[in-house]
Amino acid sequence: MTREEKTDIVGLLNKARAMELHAISQYMNQHYNLDDMDYGLPAGKVKLIAIDEMRHAEMFAERIKELGGEPLTDRAAKVQHGQEVEVIFGFDSDLEEDTISVYNGFLARCREVGDSITAGILETVVAEEQVHLNFFENEKKHIERLGAAYLATWAGSSSATGLPAALGYVATRGGE
Ligand SMILES: [Fe+2]
Ligand SMILES: [Fe+2]
């Protein structure tokens, strides 16, 4: 790759990173709100999806560094606060759909310049966004079709994510 092509790919990766940083904050906000509404089950799932987006932001940053660039910390959009439960899943479906389409465009550019490594990262990430999209779309449809009856299955449910607690720095210092 030429220097110009590397700069171009770093630019795309930073745009993708900004979309991830936006998604992280948006999903975290929804996670607290769903938890506050006592809809533990979707709150836990949305929290896990935010963690996936954190991994994506990291993957892009690592590749940016490899290409000699600097990972930026801007968000692609402002976070919407206080969304109703009837709004959240349609909103997130649109966000994931848009992300997949933008990343597919970036993927085409990576192939054009022969950057198979960035292309591979984007392929992995797009496949994960599709899993998110499937989840959000299913929830949106259930709420549309079943309404209160569906929400009642969430009320009072546990927000446990099934993740081990020892994920952070503090938790790993237990043996000290
Ligand atoms: Fe993502
Ligand atoms: Fe996603």
Q: What is the pLDDT of residue 9?
A: 98
Q: What does the pLDDT look like over 6-57, one tens digit per residue? A: 999 999 999 999 999 999 999 999 999 999 999 999 999 999 999 999 999 9
pLDDT band at 167 (very low <50, low <70, confident <90, very high): low
Q: What is the pLDDT of residue 39?
A: 96
The rounded Å distance from CA 173 to ligand 2 centre is 31
The rounded Å distance from CA 19 to ligand 2 centre is 9
pLDDT band at 169 (very low <50, low <70, confident <90, very high): confident
What residue spans define the domains of the chain? 3-74+83-161
pTM tops 0.75: yes
The rounded Å distance from CA 33 to ligand 1 centre is 21
pLDDT at residue 67 is higher than 60:
yes
Q: What is the pLDDT of residue 166?
A: 53
Q: What is the pLDDT of residue 149?
A: 97
The rounded Å distance from CA 78 to ligand 2 centre is 16
Mean per-residue pLDDT over the chain, rounded: 94
The rounded Å distance from CA 103 to ligand 1 centre is 10
Q: What does the pLDDT look like over 112-166, one tens digit per residue? A: 999 999 999 999 999 999 999 999 999 999 999 999 999 999 999 998 887 766 5
The rounded Å distance from CA 107 to ligand 2 centre is 16
The rounded Å distance from CA 103 to ligand 2 centre is 11
3-74+83-161 topology per CATH:
Ferritin (1.20.1260)
The rounded Å distance from CA 45 to ligand 1 centre is 14
What are the C-alpha distances in Å from 85 to residues 92, 109, 134? 11, 37, 17
Cβ atoms of 96 and 125 within 8 Å: the answer is no
CB contact burial 137-153 (16+ within 10 A = b; e otherwise): bebbebbeeeeeeebee
